Structure 1
Amino acid sequence: MRRLIAALCISATPFAASAEEVTTYTLDNGMDVVVIEDHRAPVVVHMVWYRSGSADEPPGSSGVAHFLEHLLFKATDTMESGELSEVVAANGGSDNAFTSYDYTAYYQRVAADRLELMMRMESDRMNNLRLTEEDIVTERNVILEERNQRTDNNAGALAREQLRAAQYLNHRYGVPIIGWRHEMESLDMQDALSFYDLYYSPNNAILVVAGDVEPEEVLALAETYYGVIPPEEHLPERFRPEEPPQTAERRLTYVDPRVSQPYLTRSYIAPERDSGAQKEAAALVYLAELLGGSPFTSALGIALQFDSQTAVYSGAGYDAMNLDDTTFGLTVVPAQGVTLSEAEAAMDQVIADFLANPIDADQMERLRTQFRASEIYARDDVEGIANRYGAALTQGLTIEDVQAWPQILQQVTAEDVKAVAEKVLQRQQSVTGWIVPSQEEAL
């Protein structure tokens, strides 16, 4: 009976109380260590996050952060080129890496008893990378081809690139992560090694280990393999140029014959999640769902896709995770026979109506339930949890911020959403783009 009562009490406990078991350390050389315990399966995710991404690149060397990500799979003092991935695969695991505006991360997912092997190899390439001119030429061609496939051969990607450049006039978020082609073509050994020597240092890194591990054992391994690497004494303060206040609406028309159907998109500068101040970001998460989430329940979907049949698609999006100011975006694809002018006017009317009318209480409660469920399901993904903490810590948040986020989401009110909507949805701080196959369709 006591066990039954205890179980009932646990199920009634506020949602925020059931956070992950997280233990943190800082090594003597400044490297942060985060251990997230999950003993349900004998698996571990080992990640190293660097507080350096494309927005930290020196002017004129766009794409070097992503370029270096590729180069880190080359040889070191003790490993052959490609050996790390081969060893991971031979041990039944998987590995990869990714670059964002604010970070670069490397990870392996393996059996828990292979953790020491992962640390030995990953710590080796943190400090002992050995590149050849052939490596530089080969990988430069690889990233150029990647740009060909993902951006240059994709009208939508090229349009987004131009829109983002128009949104950020001064901040490096206006430069594509993969880089501008003309600068990528000139990336060389010195560019790569300069970025590597400065930023790939333990005092600029976060080790995240999640899965079937004990914190003390992880710490001992981290001290053995990472703790012996000297810190970078000249690591610069993480300074970014600030975006000036936007006081005039910006518009552009992107014409590309590969566009299969004209559409319009608009983005607004919006606040990101800040440490100790995540309330506005949480309200923006609700705003994105209320305006352009499910077409069956969102303001844009109901008004444009069903009531007036002005659009065949409508949506809204907000990415709260940024070190600096982020964006809130809207997209509308007009129905056959509807011009972009008509579609934009209809979208503006929906926004005006949303700002003028109260938010339905049932809608808010439905979203609270949805967010609560998604947080619960997310706990079954060890890699996703490791990503959550790594991204947060490289973007200015703390462990406490991450664990407080679900409860902050639950506390958002309709008044909070209306307040942030009125603050963000201002035309003078927006960029509107029309993406069309020909100039004649830009009407």
Structure 2
Amino acid sequence: MFKGTEKLKPGEFSRIVSQNGGEENAFTSYDYTAYFQSWSASNVELSFELEAERMRNLKLDEEEFAKEINVVLEERRLRTDDNPRALAGEAARAAAFQTSPYRNPVIGWAADLKEMKLVDLAAWYQRWYAPNNAIVVVVGDVDPQAVYKAAQKHFGDFKPEQLEAPKRRPEVPQQGTKRLRIVNEDARLPYLTMAYKAPVLTEVEDADIEEWELYALEVLAATLDGNKASRLPKKLVRRDRVASSISVNYSMANRLRTLFSISATPADGHSPAELEQAIRTELESLRSAPPSPAELARIKTQVVADSLFEQDSPFYQGIIIGSLEAIGLDWRLRDDYVSNIQNVTPEQVQAVARKYLVDDALTVATLLPGMAPATEAAQ
């Protein structure tokens, strides 16, 4: 998308942005691809002109395509294939999800990338890079009416594509814990990932999922690992010293069911099995008794502060607004985030721990240093 269009030579897009004092880039997620520029509000019209040009007029050249495939393969090699932890995480996600497209890495599998042809790329571009599949977000000191006029001017004549939403492929209900044992000679230290399937905002209409549960899961994640004073780093890293590092990851802003994951490195003298048991003990304590009002108040203050800090950045405001719309939700949900977090009760945190952090939703991946055949997996 940066390699030239009918009007722009390869590299000219980036050069124009740079010459006007701006920065630009792009990123991909499981649900969407985002392209952005950060520069003076006076350049909104220029942004629209450039983005409209590459939305429909991209030049797909065989030579440039071959170069970029190699760039992507090299990026995959550096970030994943040569990174034992990243490989383990990729394997854990592929094992956790049986039918969901989230089982595939965002960058793609190396085997698929090697088989990709220019005609495949052209078909994808023609189908999805269309005005009726795009969301434009402008954040800054701009005149809304001028923005609307610019959008109409530069995108209004583009014909929409016939889009058919991919058919829903409900995830097969899991029966029992899935386990992977991954031995990698490049791994220096063992590593443990415990990933639980967890609901997201788009599932709220389902009969057995209530909206408050998603916010309670966000608070639960912060209770376990929001800062150094949170339960897992405080108890497992500093007090018991069974882990040298630990992190928790969960986001409710996804189109499909996601993972509530706990990843940790065992401390010297401790095995992944010991660490897993220690984590299970901490999770059971939350299932057995809710956090105290004082602990919950401290955690919620941190979650709210992090959210407000993000809103100080026009870039992150744009990402939040755009991502909500991209997954089929109303961007105004962000305005209710703080109040919904503040309304979470100790009993609700306990309830979601009981409901979602269960063995029938769990995949455990253990990375071990050493020489071995291929990954062993069992369910």
TM-score calculated relative to the size of structure 2: 0.93
Change in CA separation of 1:130 and 1:314 when aligned onto 2, cut-off 3 Å: closer
Structure-2 residue corresponding to 1:379 = 311
Structure-2 residue corresponding to 1:79 = 8
Task: Report the AA paired with residue 90 of structure 2.
Answer: E
Aligned pair 1:289/2:222, yes or no?
Answer: yes
Q: Residue 172 of structure 1 contacts residue 240 of structure 1 at CA under 8 Å; is this kept in 2?
A: no
Equivalent of 2:194 in 266, 280, 301: 266
Structure-1 residue corresponding to 2:142 = 213
Change in CA separation of 1:390 and 1:184 when aligned onto 2, cut-off 3 Å: same
Aligned pair 1:340/2:291, yes or no?
Answer: no
Structure-1 residue corresponding to 2:112 = 183
Alignment partners' CA distance in 2, 1:180 and 1:285:
30
Task: Report the AA paired with residue 154 of structure 2.
Answer: Y
Q: Residue 102 of structure 1 contacts residue 395 of structure 1 at CA under 8 Å; is this kept in 2?
A: yes
Alignment partners' CA distance in 1, 2:36 and 2:124:
20
Per the TM alignment, residue 390 of structure 1 is displaced from its structure 2 partner at its CA by 0.4
Alignment partners' CA distance in 1, 2:333 and 2:347:
22
Alignment partners' CA distance in 2, 1:153 and 1:412:
41
Equivalent of 1:362 in 286, 291, 294: 294
Structure-2 residue corresponding to 1:254 = 182
Q: Residue 288 of structure 1 contacts residue 316 of structure 1 at CA under 8 Å; is this kept in 2?
A: yes
Change in CA separation of 1:324 and 1:75 when aligned onto 2, cut-off 3 Å: same
Structure-2 residue corresponding to 1:55 = none
Structure-2 residue corresponding to 1:280 = 213
Alignment partners' CA distance in 2, 1:101 and 1:269:
16
Task: Report the AA paired with residue 243 of structure 1.
Answer: E
Structure-2 residue corresponding to 1:222 = 151
Alignment partners' CA distance in 1, 2:70 and 2:331:
39
What's the CA shift string for 1:42-83, capped at 9, x where partnerless? xxxxxxxxxxxxxxxxxxxxxxxxxxxxxx112211111111
Alignment partners' CA distance in 2, 1:388 and 1:349:
35
4+ aligned runs moved over 3 Å, structure 1: 275-278
Equivalent of 1:424 in 350, 356, 362: 356
Structure-1 residue corresponding to 2:347 = 415
Alignment partners' CA distance in 1, 2:311 and 2:274:
44
Per the TM alignment, residue 172 of structure 1 is displaced from its structure 2 partner at its CA by 0.9
In the comparison of the two structures, how many residue pairs are matched?
368
Alignment partners' CA distance in 1, 2:151 and 2:290:
53
Please give the root-mean-square deviation of Cα atoms over the aligned residues, in Å. 1.7
Q: Residue 96 of structure 2 contacts residue 362 of structure 2 at CA under 8 Å; is this kept in 1?
A: yes
Structure-2 residue corresponding to 1:63 = none
Task: Report the AA paired with residue 223 of structure 2.
Answer: L
TM-score calculated relative to the size of structure 1: 0.80
Structure-1 residue corresponding to 2:243 = 311
Alignment partners' CA distance in 2, 1:125 and 1:366:
47
Per the TM alignment, residue 439 of structure 1 is displaced from its structure 2 partner at its CA by 6.5
Q: Residue 292 of structure 1 contacts residue 330 of structure 1 at CA under 8 Å; is this kept in 2?
A: no
Secondary structure, aligned partner of 2:137: strand
Aligned pair 1:136/2:69, yes or no?
Answer: no
Task: Report the AA paired with residue 189 of structure 2.
Answer: Q
Secondary structure, aligned partner of 1:121: helix
Superposition map of 1:12-23 within 5 A: none
Alignment partners' CA distance in 2, 1:124 and 1:80:
12
Q: Residue 185 of structure 2 contacts residue 371 of structure 2 at CA under 8 Å; is this kept in 1?
A: no
Q: Gapped runs of 5+ residues in structure 1?
A: 1-71
Alignment partners' CA distance in 1, 2:308 and 2:279:
34
Q: Residue 299 of structure 1 contacts residue 354 of structure 1 at CA under 8 Å; is this kept in 2?
A: no
Alignment partners' CA distance in 1, 2:181 and 2:325:
37
Secondary structure, aligned partner of 1:406: helix
Per the TM alignment, residue 431 of structure 1 is displaced from its structure 2 partner at its CA by 0.4
Secondary structure, aligned partner of 1:375: helix
Alignment partners' CA distance in 1, 2:225 and 2:58:
46
Secondary structure, aligned partner of 1:330: strand
What's the CA shift string for 1:385-431, capped at 9, x where partnerless? 01110011101210232221221111111111111111111112110
What's the CA shift string for 1:149-195, capped at 9, x where partnerless? 11111111111110010011111100111111111011111110111
Alignment partners' CA distance in 1, 2:45 and 2:198:
42
Aligned pair 1:112/2:35, yes or no?
Answer: no
Structure-2 residue corresponding to 1:353 = 285
Q: Gapped runs of 5+ residues in structure 2?
A: none
Alignment partners' CA distance in 1, 2:77 and 2:232:
34
Per the TM alignment, residue 352 of structure 1 is displaced from its structure 2 partner at its CA by 1.4
Alignment partners' CA distance in 2, 1:190 and 1:240:
26
